Structure 1
Amino acid sequence: MTILVVGASGATGQHLIAHLLKQGHTVRAVVRSAERLPESIRNDGNLFIIEASILEISDTEMVEHVAGCDAVASCLGHNLTFKGMYGKPRRLVTDAARRLCAAIKVNKPEKRIKYVLMNTTGNRNRDLDEPISFAERCVIALLRLLLPPHVDNEKAADYLRTELGQNNPIIQWSAVRPDSLINESEVTEYEVYPSPTRSPIFNAGKVSRINVGHFMAALIDNDDLWQKWKGQMPVIYSKMSS
């Protein structure tokens, strides 16, 4: 398969690319600078690097980049700096999802394309009756006011849920929700649930970035796993924190 990965040079995106390449897939990676990718990945013959800022790519170029792809994966996120959180673009993840999906539709692919989005447990799946306490509601309301990236994550998932929906003839999607991200060097056991099993605000679990990349790659590679989680927002925890 051929997969386009955006946010490819980020901490999770690099793991996702490594897993996809290990599975034997062809990867097109959108990065601002190729130098941000580890040399072991950068020199892989199945990796094709597109040096660009995702929202600065023209509509025509976007159509070309997704042409022939079987899946698109987004590991986009905002840098944890003042400029990254409060500067432009405020809707990086959402706008990228809209433009990428629009480009996919222009190509009129013969089979449905997978769109895998990295999201967050701080965002509820409104298709499900996920319980939330009054205290959690208050904290999330503050996050919406004070942290634009949180709103971006919510709107990106809402775009997939409400505008693409469950029966889109061209695009199928899954929004992966990791809890608190940590760094590990090896894939470990992890667990995946339809909804959080603990409070993401007051009792957050942990999951390694390499595990998230592994699960996202598995969704793309394994059709049985995809059938289980398509149109859903699976929550992932490393098993040690379950």
Structure 2
Amino acid sequence: MTTLVLGASGATGKQLVEQLLIKKSNIKIIVRDINKIPNSWKSNNNIVVIEASVLQLNNEEINKIVSGCNAVASCIGHNLSWKGVYGQPRKLVTDAVRLICNAIKENAPNNSIKFVLMNTAGNRNRDLKEPLSFKHRLVVSLLRLLLPPHVDNEAAADYLRTEIGQNNSFIEWVAVRPDNLTNSDNVSKYEIYPSPIRDAIFDAGKTSRINVAHFMANLITDDKAWAKWKGQMPVIYNSLSE
């Protein structure tokens, strides 16, 4: 199995690559700066490193990269800087998801490709009509006006949910929704729910990045896990017992 990982140089992306290596997967990564990845990856025969900005690749290039991949995982996010939040591209995540999905469809693989998107518990799954309090909806409305990355995260998940849908011939998908992200060196117990069990704004839970990576890697490599969650937007929390 070969997995293309987008955002591999980021905090969660690095953890995902390591989790996939534990599972003996072959990996392709697209990174803008090769100096931001561990040196051990550069000499690892299980990793193919492509130094590029994904949105600057032309159709022929991206189609070639995607060819031969059984899965794609996106951990792309906006840098927490003024330029990263308010500069271009405003739809970094959505445009990358669309670009990869278009490449998959153009390649017309014989078997469906798994697409795992790292999203956020602050984004509602509209397929399930998840209830939100008035104050939550008010804050989300403000976030849409003030924080372009939030709009981007919503649009990326909505693209998979509505444009790819549940019956695409070439693509199956899962959008993983962690709550407040934390750092940890080790995988711990975590819980997965179809919808949030806490208010992501006023009663946020915690989710370690390594747990997100572990769950994403399981989705990619475990067919039972994939069958359970495909076409859904599961929410992941660290177990309260931890």
Shorter-chain TM band = over 0.9
Give the RMSD, CA atoms, in angstroms. Answer: 1.0
130 and 113 in structure 1: CA distance in 2 versus 1, 3 angstrom threshold: same
Give the Cα–Cα distance (whole angstroms) in 1 for the partners of residues 236 and 42 of structure 2: 28
User: Which residue in 1 is equivalent to 2:165?
Assistant: 165
Equivalent pairs, count: 242
187 and 63 in structure 1: CA distance in 2 versus 1, 3 angstrom threshold: same
Moved >6 Å (runs of 4+): none
Give the Cα–Cα distance (whole angstroms) in 2 for the partners of residues 136 and 240 of structure 1: 23
Give the Cα–Cα distance (whole angstroms) in 1 for the partners of residues 149 and 155 of structure 2: 10
Residue 241 of structure 1 deviates from its aligned partner by 7.5
Give the Cα–Cα distance (whole angstroms) in 1 for the partners of residues 76 and 86 of structure 2: 16
Residue 45 of structure 1 deviates from its aligned partner by 1.4
- Residues 1:155 and 2:155 aligned together: yes
User: Which residue in 2 is equivalent to 1:215?
Assistant: 215
Matched ranges for 1:2-151 at <5 A: 2-151=2-151
Give the Cα–Cα distance (whole angstroms) in 2 for the partners of residues 178 and 43 of structure 1: 31
Give the Cα–Cα distance (whole angstroms) in 2 for the partners of residues 236 and 19 of structure 1: 17
TM-score when normalising by structure 2: 0.98
TM-score when normalising by structure 1: 0.98
Give the Cα–Cα distance (whole angstroms) in 2 for the partners of residues 173 and 206 of structure 1: 24
Percentage of identical aligned residues: 60
Q: Is the 1:206–1:241 Cα contact (8 Å) retained in structure 2?
A: no
